[in-house]
Structure 1
Amino acid sequence: MAIVDKDSAINYIQKLGNVSDREKLFSIYEEMPYQLIHDSPTIKHYTDWDLFDNLDLKIDYGSKKNLDSPLKDYKLISIANNIVEGTEVLDSPKNSGIDPKEHKLVALNLALAKKIIIDRPGKYFIYHYTDQELYSPINIEINVNDDITDIVYYSESFGKSMPSSTIYLKVGKDATVNFSTIVKGNSSYSFVYAKAEVDGSINSSIFASGSSQAHIEYKSILGSYSNASFNVKALGVKDNNIDIVSDVTHIGEKSVSTGSMKAVAANTSLTVIRGDAKVGETAHDSSTSIIGRAIMLGKESKAIVAPMLEVKTGRVITAKHSAAVSRVDEDLVFYLQNRGFDRKTAEGLIIRGFLNDENDISIVKEMVEKIISDLGY
């Protein structure tokens, strides 16, 4: 068993260009393990890769779907059941900033994906959708040299399906990028691998909920005088499994990063939020902060918070990290019940207060509200 049925993958490759390059990438995928080192807790995988490998999905063009952007002033680019609309599509298996050997599933994605490029400032809503039992890959490159660019990557899938994306961002020194990754599963599966090389400024947010298994990795590499912030949120309901990794590496002097990670685990879900903040030997006078918090509801829910810190220079302004995990505070529930709320409503208020941030984009606020309301809180 595998994520994609091999015969289906080989047949699909024949429909694309660069067949020999794609076949080599598919071989890399087959040969690579998910995990290279098994005994270090700092690189331990919390994703159950067997859940992916048991899918045995087909890959082909599915039925067309007319999608709308919930953010009306954003240009819509849609990938619906492997049909791309709203932009030029390149038949290329290469990504200029991400090597296929960085991850097993990156190699698979590049072997089977078409490519889109964004190289002009503006507002873009990338809607990645599948409602059929398909593997749906996309290869995205974003190159912004100046001005302000807002990009939302929104993945929505249903049942036994798996959208998969490889996203590379190059942010010039005169550019500011606001980059949001939203994964909305409906008992489905998802993989996102994103990397940003930053000489200017980037504000990133990640939100995931509803997936039977979601694995999201976001890596930012900071040059001199660059600035990066990231806001990570995982909301696990029912039997969700969500694993979000957000790493930042400082290689340039006087670079600054701040990271906030939050997770809620309810019912029998597992939510994992983790990341590594690294300050390299050449990143003199830099600052980094990575803070993780999680709450759990129900005896069978699990949450893991693992922010890590690695500093390789003695010339650092700030370097801090912290983590906390707890069950929902019974004293706080009791306090709210004494104010006239029933237990479910009280727990809902606590979740909302914990997850919601003032700077969240509207689509995330609406999703959080709907998910919590659907749970009866």
Structure 2
Amino acid sequence: MTREALEKLTYQKYGDSPTIRSYTKWKLFEENSPLKLPTEAKAGEVLVRGHVTLSGSEASFDLPNGVELTEGTLGLSQPEESRILGFHFYALKKAYRLKIRENLAEPLVIVSHLSERAFISHHLSIEVENARVPIIIYDMAEDGTKSFVVELKARNAEIELLTIGKHKSLSHYLLRASLAGKSRVKAFTVVHGGRMSHHREDYSLEGAGSELFLRGIPIGIGSAVDYLTNVLQHGEKTVSETRVHGFSYRDGWTVHRGTAKVFERARNSSSVVVSEVTIMDEGSLGVSVPMLEVDTGEIENASHSSSVRQFDEDALFYLRSRGLDREEALSLFVHGIGEALSSHLERLRSKARSSVMSLTEELL
């Protein structure tokens, strides 16, 4: 990606309609792009120990048995797609690739971290075939601008994926996943927005009978997060269920845009998109935009719903009547968000619970 080619790219190729407009404050990324910031940074202090640790411009690996490391990408994302991906590939120094062909008993922990004022790109590809694999991804941006792209190919695989985003500065995250064979993915995401966090997850269900269950919690507490989920169903009898509940608090800014498309050949499939945003106080913003498109008349189930609501004042009154002040009551509620998310996990339960709960403790 050359500087000249970058100049021709835009952040979004579509019109500015209420359903497909971008809510990300791209001007901030433009002001803190790799054209204006250094593209090298030292590794910072990472509190989480990972099997893969990408911090600043440095990378370290302590891989378990059954995981093979090479270099390169899977080609699921291209720089020509958008200006932010153009920036990503322009600043990218090296991409890494993992191959997994056997079951992992413990979660594979991946860390992406930046703590210096720079524009840093991290790129990791993961191939899983005929295996059961739990994965935890920590996405942390303390300073500068960080772009993290994860490419995932699954074939006849079962994957439990927990993503924890904790940001203070600018963050761009893209997960691009392809599910072939009869693959099954259970994905759980919690993102605490920073100055501006653009978090996107794309899933393509290509194999007949492949399944995706996605749960997401974007949280804007005095911060901004634009959370996008896109599901494309190509294979017959595929199942997708996306349920996102976002929260905005203390002048926070939380957006969820969720899209699901069932193609004509995806007969007898099921697709659900549920999008909710709770605004917890005055001055905060919440946006919920689910979309569902079905090209076949042979559909098992198809539904979508949206809601943006104020925090339940009755629940708040109940907690305050038990002696808690407003801040304590809302703090207890936000802690409950982490508990609700971690309770979904089975094999990851112990580690995920401690991770998510420690995250919410630090947010308040």
User: What TM-score does the superposition give when structure 1 sets the normalisation length?
Assistant: 0.84
Question: Contact between 2:40 and 2:120, CA under 8 Å: does it hold in 1?
Answer: no
Give the structure 2 partner of residue 45 of structure 1: 22
Deviation at 1:143, TM superposition (A): 0.9
Matched residue type, 1:226 = S
Structure 2 residue 317 is the aligned partner of structure 1 residue 338: no
Deviation at 1:298, TM superposition (A): 1.9
Give the structure 2 partner of residue 140 of structure 1: 124
Give the structure 2 partner of residue 185 of structure 1: 167
Deviation at 1:179, TM superposition (A): 2.2
Secondary structure, in 3 states, of the residue corresponding to 1:108? helix
Matched residue type, 1:53 = E
Deviation at 1:354, TM superposition (A): 4.9
* Unmatched tracts of structure 1, length 5 or more: 1-21
| Cα distance per residue 1:106-145 (max 9 Å; x no partner) | 2221233211101114342121111111111022111111
d(CA) in 2 for partners of 1:152, 1:164? 18
Give the structure 2 partner of residue 300 of structure 1: 283
Aligned mate of 1:62, from 41, 44, 50: 41
Secondary structure, in 3 states, of the residue corresponding to 2:95? strand
d(CA) in 2 for partners of 1:197, 1:42? 25
Give the structure 1 partner of residue 10 of structure 2: 33
* Unmatched tracts of structure 2, length 5 or more: 63-68
User: What TM-score does the superposition give when structure 2 sets the normalisation length?
Assistant: 0.87
| Cα distance per residue 1:292-343 (max 9 Å; x no partner) | 1221122100111111111111000011111111111112212222233322
Deviation at 1:266, TM superposition (A): 0.5
Matched residue type, 2:95 = K
| Structure 2 counterparts to residues 270-289 of structure 1, below 5 A | 270-289=253-272
Question: Contact between 1:29 and 1:105, CA under 8 Å: does it hold in 2?
Answer: no
| Cα distance per residue 1:172-194 (max 9 Å; x no partner) | 0x2112223222112x1100111
Question: Contact between 1:77 and 1:125, CA under 8 Å: does it hold in 2?
Answer: yes
Structure 2 residue 215 is the aligned partner of structure 1 residue 231: yes
Deviation at 1:27, TM superposition (A): 3.8
Deviation at 1:363, TM superposition (A): 6.1
Secondary structure, in 3 states, of the residue corresponding to 1:127? strand
Aligned mate of 1:118, from 98, 122, 141: 98
Matched residue type, 1:112 = A
Q: How large is the RMSD of aligned CA atoms in angstroms?
A: 2.3
d(CA) in 2 for partners of 1:267, 1:219? 30
Change (3 A) 1:191 1:346: same
Question: Contact between 1:247 and 1:275, CA under 8 Å: does it hold in 2?
Answer: yes
Greater shift in the superposed pair: 269-278 or 203-212: 203-212
d(CA) in 1 for partners of 2:91, 2:23? 26
Give the structure 1 partner of residue 307 of structure 2: 324
- Report how many aligned residue pairs link the two structures: 343
d(CA) in 1 for partners of 2:332, 2:312? 12
Greater shift in the superposed pair: 225-234 or 201-210: 201-210
Greater shift in the superposed pair: 188-197 or 343-352: 343-352
d(CA) in 1 for partners of 2:205, 2:117? 38
Deviation at 1:367, TM superposition (A): 5.8
Give the structure 2 partner of residue 165 of structure 1: 148
Structure 2 residue 135 is the aligned partner of structure 1 residue 151: yes
Give the structure 2 partner of residue 261 of structure 1: 244
d(CA) in 2 for partners of 1:367, 1:241? 22
Matched residue type, 1:359 = H
Aligned mate of 1:213, from 177, 196, 204: 196
